[in-house]
Structure 1
Amino acid sequence: MSQKTALITGCSSGIGRATAWAFLDDDWKVYATARNPADIQTLGEHEDCDINTLDVTDDEDVARVVDRMVDQDGRIDALVNNAGYGGHGPLEDVTVEHLHEQFDVNVYGPHRLARAVLPHMRAAGDGTIVNVSSVAGRVAALGMGAYSGSKHAVEAMSDTLRLETERFGVDVVVVQPGPVETQFRERVGEELDRYDRSDAYEDIYDFQEDANLLGGDGPFAVSPDEVADAILEAAVSPSPKARYPVGRFAEYAMLARFLPDGIRDSVFGLLRRL
């Protein structure tokens, strides 16, 4: 059999980079992508890694990379939709433009890539699409409406796509990490600085800026390698689970969605006051 291939987005650092190395260590041919190819130059030194410039918001970029895979290897066994960022902030202060940018990367990007690879996976009667979500995709918190909304959308679309493609031999999986030891929170800070802040929500801004428990250096954070292992497990499994929460925080946070809304709101209200 020819070597299996994987297309992985957002490989410049963190989860994406760790996932690329995990697949390479498992003898896959990896098409590692990032908006800036200089960020993934070291991955390209591996003989089985093909690095590519890819902006997930650009239809032509998506088509070019998928066509390259098909031309060179004739197959696409796994797509890992990892590229994304967190647009945090009180929803009243989040402009429509900012919200659109958030959804363009986190929701429309995975949709573009899924549409591009599915004809090839259906023709092969096999394939796995792994969408990297978050616990925020199941439980929305203060100041995370835009990000949680995008991840909720990914979760719902993944559920639908899983049902639609199962008959073609294509699996659709969601990986749900909690806090991860990455630079994710730094990007959150950059996003918060973009807003015209309403004085009414200073406590929420303070909560987001000081959310050490949710950061990459917090006590609940898992390593990018742990997330990468879950992604690889989903890709190699003949019958993957629909969801892979990663880390104890993620496992416990998932249970919060079963709480009555009033109790959950009270918990977040207590966090805001503290």
Structure 2
Amino acid sequence: MTTGTVLITGCSSGFGKLTVRTFLDEGWNVVATMRSPEKQSDLVSNERLLVNRLDVTQSETIQSTINAATDRFGTIDAVVNNAGYGGYGLFEQSSEADIRAMFETNVFGPMAVMRAVLPAMREAGRGVIVNVTSMAGHMALPGNAIYSSSKHAIVGLTEAMALEYRPLGIRIFSVAPGAYPTTRFTENTDKRVEEGDAELAAFSHRLRAQIDAVGEQMANQSGTTADPQEVADKIYRCVTTEMPVHNPTGADAEMLIAMMGQADRQTFLDQISDMLVPQHQQVQ
């Protein structure tokens, strides 16, 4: 795919904003979405840019954005599910409301976006979806049990959907960033580390200090501070070229994937696809 229209969620900062600029620089039409677009001031006005409100937990905003995008640009050729958030805390320090809120945004939100765009992509016989996941979706991250489980869910969903939809002309990928300066697990952190009894809170503080120290070290794995533009570039490559289903991004992510023995998982997926997935036949 050379150029077209891409819809990106979670564009108010970080990877999302960098991805918007990357696609614009490459000549794409971009639908940049976020929960509060009225607060957005530094995305330069461009005839190929549509900034729209989209909250992945509110289905009506998803459909209204799709309508606005198709009215403006005709089709949506690619979707980048980037919206999501982290949050440090031991399992017992996360309330039921905390857990459900994280899964609503990190899992059910991307599901809702994909459900909304897939029918048109199937009708067109083509399309690309990139889910921005995390290395926490490939390995357990202590102190982030709820976040890790939400990202494991979206990694598994992406893998299954990639197998399901490839015969229908739709390519689906995961981009899993390692530790980058934009990555923050601080939402409600200060409150959560104090939750529970004295033993739980004390251990939570010690674990967070350890995780923060290792995270800083991992972000400098290549000898220099990891550049978040790497993630935007990897997303662009997934949309425009042939790539594996899973794309760990960053020197630390690649090292961890190799340690887990998953560096060549695509070979396994190709074998499973040949075994389980029939060739698609057009319905007459």
TM-score tier (shorter):
0.7 to 0.9
User: CA shift at 1:160, angstroms?
Assistant: 1.2
Matched, 1:228 2:229: no
The 2-side partners of 1:2 and 1:144 are apart by: 38
Specify the alignment match of 1:60 in structure 2: 60
Cα deviation, residue 198, structure 1: 3.2
RMSD in angstroms over aligned alpha carbons? 2.2
Q: Distance in 2 between matches of 1:205 and 1:8?
A: 35
2:73 & 2:111 partners in 1: Cα distance? 23
Which residue of structure 2 lines up, in the alignment, with residue 200 of structure 1? 199
Q: Residue in 2 aligned with 1:212?
A: 213
CA-CA distance at 1:49 after TM superposition: 0.8
**Structure 2 CA distance, aligned partners of 1:256 and 1:75?**
41
Question: Counterparts of 2:173 and 2:217 in 1: how far apart (Å)?
Answer: 24
Q: Residue 235 and residue 206 in structure 1: after superposition, are their counterparts in 2 closer, same or farther (change >3 A)?
A: same
Give the CA deviation at 1:258: 4.4
- Distance (Å, rounded) in 1 between the aligned partners of 2:67 and 2:167: 24
- Does 2:30 align with 1:27? no
* Separation in structure 2 between the aligned mates of residue 40 and residue 256 of structure 1, nearest angstrom: 40
1:99 positional shift: 0.5
Consecutive unaligned residues of structure 1, counting only runs of 5 or more, are 260-274
Alpha carbons of structure 1 residues 62 and 209: separation in structure 2 relative to 1, 3 Å:
farther
Mapped to 2, the partners of 1:192 and 1:250 lie a distance apart of 24
Residues 87 and 186 in structure 2, CA contact (< 8 A), matched pair in contact too: no
Deviates more, 1:23-32 or 1:159-168: 159-168
Q: Which moved more, 1:82-91 or 1:22-31?
A: 82-91
The partner residue of 1:248 within 241, 247, 251 is 251
Q: Using a 3 Å threshold, how does the CA distance of structure 1 residues 190 and 151 change in structure 2: closer, same or farther?
A: closer
- Corresponding residue of 1:189: 186
CA deviation map 1:135-188 (0-9, x unaligned): 100001211100100000000100111111112100000001101121x32xx3
Distance 2:126 2:99 in 1: 35
Q: CA deviation at 1:100?
A: 0.5
The aligned amino acid for 1:45 is: S
1:52-84 superposed Cα distances (whole Å, 9 cap, x missing partner): 111111010111101212222221111000011
**Per the alignment, do residues 218 and 73 of structure 1 end up closer, same or farther by CA in structure 2, a change over 3 Å counting?**
closer
Change in Cα spacing, 1:254 to 1:3, as seen in structure 2 (3 Å) is: closer
TM-score where L is the length of structure 2: 0.84
Asked if the contact 1:93/1:198 (under 8 Å) is kept, the reply is: no
1:264 corresponds to: none
Any idea what SS the aligned residue of 1:244 has? strand
Divergent runs of 4+, >6 A: none
Residue number in structure 2 paired with 1:265: none
Q: Structure 2 CA distance, aligned partners of 1:119 and 1:73? A: 17
CA contact (8 A) 1:41 1:51 kept: no
Q: Structure 2: which 5+ residue stretches go unaligned?
A: 263-284
**For the residues of structure 2 that align with 1:123 and 1:20, how far apart are their CA atoms?**
26
Say if 1:55 and 1:105 are closer, same or farther in 2 by CA, change over 3 A: same
Equivalent position of 2:84 in the other structure: 84
CA distance in 1, matches of 2:41, 2:139: 36
1:3 deviation in Å? 5.5
1:124 is displaced (CA, Å) by: 1.0
